[in-house]
Amino acid sequence: MFRIGEFARFTRVSVKMLRHYDDIGLLPPAHVDRATGYRYYNVAQLPRLNRIILLRDLGFGLDEIAGLLDEDIDDVFAQRERLLMDAVNRAQAQLRAVRARRELMRDSPDRLPDIVIRPVDALLVAMVTGNRDDDVGQLFYRLESYTRDLRARASRPPLTLLADPDEEELTVAVPLSWVVPEADGIEVTWLEAVPAMACAVHRGGYAGLPRLMQQMLRWLEQTGARPAGRIREVYLRFGAEPELGLPTEYLTGEREDLVTELQVPLAVRRMPGQPRVRA
């Protein structure tokens, strides 16, 4: 048996830490003298102490270690490897984002977009598909009138789903509060949730959107992110006819007050063996 000071010198673990391990139930002494309160340890406790030291070196917290001491060590290593790989992937993604932003700053320091990645919830919409040459305003007017008459318009901004560059069609959509009957050319459907959407806001006229799109696509290339779905233009502030009865917080009659968010869905990277993320 070793007194706590001897055990500390032998194991190179401080007396203070041994006492703390005792206090939290991680490594109680083998014996406590009732008269003196001295703590005694024996060599049979070395494997448990070594396991604690090993797990701490691997980055586990004491609360985690308490639940891992009696687990199979291979399972513990596999769990820690997954956690560390997740941390490495996050750090690498942050590094790519920093480098991409610095590159954008060198090219356009006065008009640098803030690009953030966030999840987007599923959305029930009524939508109409037309061609690039169609009057988008007329398509929206048709949709907004239809949903207004059915009293089904949700208080959410409308949006356009852009087609691939080599395609001619585009789709306009307005959010719904509930499912309504479809009409000629008007489809009612759910836009799937997107776990990772790259988003950037443009203020002003719609003529500036192509430049923002080019910057976002360059950012995607530099960060290694990959688009995975139709790009969205979400109209946070826009102009509309008064008879449509849209919420006033979305409306403006001034071109410089228009606010549009470009949203690019991203492919979600998976670790080997990690399940796919489903919308």
Dihedral over Cα of 165, 203, 194, 179: its sign: negative
Residue 174 has pLDDT above 80, yes or no: yes
| 71 found inside a domain | no
Q: pLDDT tens-digit profile of 123-171?
A: 999 999 988 778 889 999 999 999 999 999 999 999 999 887 667 788 9
Residue 19 within a domain = yes
Q: Are 67 and 79 in contact (CB under 8 A)?
A: no
Q: Looking at the 3D structure of the chain, how many domains does it have? A: 2
Residue 131, token pair as written in the block: 């061609």
158 shares a domain with 24? no
| CA end-to-end distance (rounded Å), the chain | 60
Domain finish residue from 32, 47, 66? 66
Flag whether 74 is in a domain: no
Each residue's pLDDT tens digit, 24-53: 999 999 999 888 889 999 999 998 999 899
Range of the domain at 46: 2-66
Domain membership of residue 107 (yes or no) is: no
* 62 plus 121 within the same structural domain: no
Residue 114, strand partner residues: none
The answer on 157 and 31 residing in a single domain is no
Please state the pTM of the whole predicted model.
Answer: 0.64
**Are 56 and 129 contained in the same domain?**
no
Q: Tell whether 29 and 128 lie within a shared domain.
A: no
Q: Indicate which CATH number applies to the domain containing 146.
A: 3.20.80.10
> Is 106 among the domain residues?
no
How many residues are recorded in the chain?
279
**Residue 276 pLDDT > 60:** no
Residue 23 sits in the same domain as residue 142: no
Question: Is the domain of 221 the same as that of 162?
Answer: yes
Q: What is the CATH number for 11?
A: 1.10.1660.10
Q: What are 56-96's pLDDT values in tens digits?
A: 888 888 888 888 887 777 777 787 888 888 888 888 878 87
Please check whether residues 216 and 157 belong to one and the same domain.
yes
Q: Which residue has the higher pLDDT, 240 or 218?
A: 240
Instruction: Tell whether 158 is covered by a domain.
Output: yes
Burial bucket for residue 247 (CB in 10 Å: 0-12, 13-18, 19+): exposed
Structural contact between residues 162 and 129, judged by C-beta atoms closer than 8 angstroms: no
**Secondary structure of residue 186 in the 3-state scheme:** strand
Is position 182 within any domain? Answer: yes
Residue 94 included in any domain: no
